[in-house]
Structure 1
Amino acid sequence: MSLENTVSIVTGSATGLGAAVAIGLAERGSKLVINYTKSEKEAKETVEACKAKGAEAILAQGDVGNDEDCQRIAKAALDKWGRIDVLVNNAGTTQFADHAKLDALDADDFLSIYRINVVGPYQMIRACAPAMKKQGMGRVVNISSIAGVTGIGSSVAYAASKGALNTMTLSLARSLAPEIRVNAVCPGFIGTRWFSDRFGENQFNSIVKQQEETTPLQRAGMAEDIAKAVIFFADEGGEHITGETLITDAGLHLGFAPLAAR
């Protein structure tokens, strides 16, 4: 089954990986719901980029940590096109903290990260599942991280949240089958504005160089690289796959250095 005339929701798709996924889906004929929390200007630019690929696209503002917003995002797709075929749970958050400094995080830090990274995807799936079940098919792709597989990343809370997301992917792949396929993509480093804004241009370039020198494939991942893996699960190539967590990190996990992961 191809993506022509399908309807896709991509959460957190104003910038970075979410925008790259949305544009990639648009190139393949899908109609897009572009979700954002605060970055309205960038979200509108992503809508225009999707339209430039010949796709229909609309905006849906909302915080995935809020269940009412999740219901409203799903309703935007149903009101406009009457169906939901693909859900990409890309919206995420983190807090930077040395893993060895246990006092760097408290319960509220864990809860705020889990609210977006775990509860948010669950609520979005719950909002979209009835329509997917009714139409007899649906595809969910959760954006996780190698942090959830290897225990590295920006903080213990972040790594734990992505591990929880991976486990939830397995649970829902089993319980929502056969109509709905649920898979996860686990990126390593992604060279997006998120990294350059956080670390500054010089350190960002240093991280890119280190990735190119230390990963087995000698590549620093860009948003478009990861988007291809996401689209694989959303498109007909993934028809026979559910409950999978796909690491896409240029082989970093084969002998990783403790770098911050997405």
Structure 2
Amino acid sequence: MSDRKVAIITGAGTGVGAATALSLAGRGYNLLVNYSRSEAEAQASEAACKEAGADTLLMQGDVSDDGDCRRMAEAAIERWGRIDALVNNAGITSFAGVANWDALDAATFERIFGVNVVGAFQMVRACAPHLKAARGCIVNVSSIAGALGIGSSVAYIASKGAINSLTLHLARSLAPEIRVNAVCPGLITTRWFVDGVGRESADQIQAQYEKTVPLQTACSAEDVADAIVWLVNGARTTTGELLLLDSGMHLGRAAPAPKPSAGEVG
């Protein structure tokens, strides 16, 4: 059995997954780096983790396929003999907009749920016995969409709401051996977002977002990774938490700066 802790990160080729993998590698974790389609990016992510000192496994797999989920868990156990953390980061959407229902057919809706919800469940089921043995943790990458009911499409919103409910259920049912939490980012400035809506729209959406949220900034992949790593590597008494990383978006529009009252000196 490895002396280093072991984490499985789904969708670790790009964005939040890649940033999380690299950060955990620098904190003494060995890593199973999963990807579905982004092979070249996943190879680069794996190489960076190795450079940071991690032993790694690079595995292609679709989390909506239960066989792929079980193979990932089995490969980690065969290689290292333990699983200490599972980060369910793999996710997809359709940038259809919340009002354009005709842009979503049943197959697209089911595919989004298959990856975002069923995939997370299947990964938990495959890893749970090993996580229990290690008294480990699970972090689900959700979205503010699941808390506020806004996002790229109604299917995505519903899937993230389901992940939030799943997180709460798992936190209860897997305690005390396994801690289960979720992060719920707002706008993240990753390639996934830019590719989905186009550069011009991405810039406009980001500018509008940063004008209206209290902290006046969007998330980077590294911001989200920092929160995930804290939940994995610390947070000993935290479970069932849906951690909002939305720069205060859930509070409503940013308040205007107060005007000086009469007699105040600037």
TM-score by length of 2: 0.91
1:79 corresponds in structure 2 to 78
Q: Measure, in 1, the Cα distance between the counterparts of 2:209 and 2:221.
A: 15
Residue 207 of structure 1: CA displacement?
Answer: 2.7
Is the 1:216–1:251 Cα contact (8 Å) retained in structure 2? Answer: yes
Structure 1 unaligned regions, length at least 5 = 258-262
Residue 98 of structure 1: CA displacement?
Answer: 3.1
* Higher CA-based Rg: 2
Is the 1:209–1:220 Cα contact (8 Å) retained in structure 2? Answer: no
Q: Which residue identity lines up with residue 223 of structure 1 in the other structure?
A: A
Structure 2 unaligned regions, length at least 5 = 255-266
Q: Measure, in 2, the Cα distance between the counterparts of 1:234 and 1:41.
A: 27
2:224 is the alignment partner of 1:212: no
Matched residue SS, 2:53: coil
Match of 1:254 among 248, 251, 255: 251
Identical positions, percent: 57
Residue 256 of structure 1: CA displacement?
Answer: 5.7
Equivalent positions of 1:202-241 (< 5 A) are: 202-236=200-234, 238-241=235-238
Match of 1:149 among 147, 150, 156: 147
1:179 corresponds in structure 2 to 177
Is the 1:16–1:194 Cα contact (8 Å) retained in structure 2? Answer: yes
2:9 is the alignment partner of 1:10: yes
Equivalent positions of 1:1-262 (< 5 A) are: 5-135=4-134, 137-236=135-234, 238-255=235-252
Using the TM superposition, name which of 37-46 and 196-205 deviates more.
Answer: 196-205
Q: Which runs of 4+ in 1 moved over 4 A?
A: none
Q: Measure, in 2, the Cα distance between the counterparts of 1:256 and 1:155.
A: 22
Q: Measure, in 2, the Cα distance between the counterparts of 1:222 and 1:55.
A: 23
1:260 corresponds in structure 2 to none
2:264 corresponds in structure 1 to none
Is the 2:95–2:196 Cα contact (8 Å) retained in structure 1? Answer: no
Matched residue SS, 2:99: coil
Matched residue SS, 1:246: strand
Matched residue SS, 1:55: coil
Residue 158 of structure 1: CA displacement?
Answer: 0.7
Q: Measure, in 2, the Cα distance between the counterparts of 1:132 and 1:196.
A: 35
Using the TM superposition, name which of 120-129 and 49-58 deviates more.
Answer: 49-58
Pair 1:107–1:256, CA change in 2 (3 A): farther
Q: Measure, in 1, the Cα distance between the counterparts of 2:85 and 2:133.
A: 14
Q: Measure, in 2, the Cα distance between the counterparts of 1:114 and 1:16.
A: 20
Q: Measure, in 1, the Cα distance between the counterparts of 2:122 and 2:253.
A: 33
Q: Measure, in 2, the Cα distance between the counterparts of 1:195 and 1:39.
A: 15
Q: Which residue identity lines up with residue 34 of structure 1 in the other structure?
A: V
Q: Which residue identity lines up with residue 188 of structure 1 in the other structure?
A: G
Q: Which residue identity lines up with residue 192 of structure 2 in the other structure?
A: W
Q: Measure, in 2, the Cα distance between the counterparts of 1:219 and 1:155.
A: 23
Is the 1:61–1:73 Cα contact (8 Å) retained in structure 2? Answer: no
Is the 2:97–2:151 Cα contact (8 Å) retained in structure 1? Answer: no
TM-score by length of 1: 0.92
Could you report, residue by residue, the CA deviation over 1:162-202 in whole angstroms, capped at 9, with x for unpaired residues? 00110011111111111011100001110011112223333
